[in-house]
């Protein structure tokens, strides 16, 4: 069955509007670390670089030291550190490790960002 031309235009317009909303969405991250050891510092540096390169002015990053705030780690069911949690937009995602591979982090967090 062939769709009428105006239905195709409506679908295309809806798709373009959805893409625009995605490109303006704010991201909320929590990075759980275990003290200021080299692995924690590396993870902080890596996620900041990834966010600045791919989500400039569109993210909030909270760094939580599980030694200082163990109740937050328990509530968040954090079993290893460093762990990055994407709180918003849904779905929630968790990544464990130094976050050194930017491409894997982007895929793991379900960030649909075109490479430049």
Q: Give me the CATH number covering residue 100.
A: 3.40.30.10
CB distance 30 to 65 below 8 Å: no
Flag whether 55 is in a domain. Answer: yes
Higher local confidence (pLDDT), 87 or 6: 87
Flag whether 17 is in a domain. Answer: no
Flag whether 30 is in a domain. Answer: yes
State pLDDT tens for residues 33-91: 999 999 999 999 999 999 999 999 999 999 999 999 999 999 989 999 999 999 999 99
DSSP secondary structure string, 30-74?
A: EEEESSS-HHHHHHHHHHHHHHHHHSTTSEEEEEEETTT-HHHHH
Flag whether 21 is in a domain. Answer: no
Q: How far apart are CA 55 and CA 71, in angstroms?
A: 29
Flag whether 4 is in a domain. Answer: no
**Among candidates 29, 12, 39, which has minimal Cα distance to 111?**
29
Flag whether 57 is in a domain. Answer: yes
Q: How far apart are CA 20 and CA 5, in angstroms?
A: 23
- pLDDT surpassing 50 at residue 116: no
- pLDDT surpassing 50 at residue 15: yes
Flag whether 85 is in a domain. Answer: yes
Flag whether 104 is in a domain. Answer: yes
Tally of domains in the chain: 1
Domain that holds residue 97: 26-108
């Amino acid at each position: 069955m062939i769709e009428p031309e105006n239905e195709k235009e409506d679908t295309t317009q809806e798709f373009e509007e959805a893409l625009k909303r995605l490109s303006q969405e704010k991201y909320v991250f929590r990075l759980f670390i275990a003290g200021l050891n080299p692995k924690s510092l590396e993870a902080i540096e890596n996620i900041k670089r990834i966010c600045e390169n791919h989500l400039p002015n569109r993210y909030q990053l909270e760094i939580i030291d599980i030694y200082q705030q163990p109740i937050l780690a328990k509530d968040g069911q954090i079993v290893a550190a460093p762990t990055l949690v994407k709180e918003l937009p849904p779905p929630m995602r968790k990544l464990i490790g130094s976050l050194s591979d930017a491409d894997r982090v982007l895929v793991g967090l379900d960030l649909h960002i075109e490479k430049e």
